[in-house]
Amino acid sequence: MVSPVDGTLLRFGEMKNKKLGPIKGMEYSLEEQFLYPFFKNWNQDDFRLFYGVFYLAPGDYHHIHSPMDFNLAQRCHFKGDLFPVVPWFSKLAPSLFTRNERVVLEGVWEGGRACIVPVGALNVGSIKLAFEPELETSRWTTFALDFESRHMTKKFSGGKQFQKGQELGEFKLGSTVVVVFQVPN
Residue count of the chain: 185
Rounded CA separation 126/92 (Å): 23
3, 63, 65, 69: the active-site residue: 65
Rounded CA separation 41/178 (Å): 19
Is 60 one of the annotated active-site residues of the chain? no
- 139: nearest Cα among 172, 101, 175: 101
3, 6, 69, 138: the active-site residue: 6
66, 90, 126, 175: the active-site residue: 175
Rounded CA separation 55/93 (Å): 17
- 8 with 61: CB under 8 angstroms? no
Q: Is the peptide bond before 22 cis (omega within 30 degrees of 0)?
A: yes
Is 157 one of the annotated active-site residues of the chain? no
Q: What are phi and psi of 6, to 5 degrees?
A: -95, 15
Is 175 one of the annotated active-site residues of the chain? yes
Active site positions, annotated: 6, 65, 175
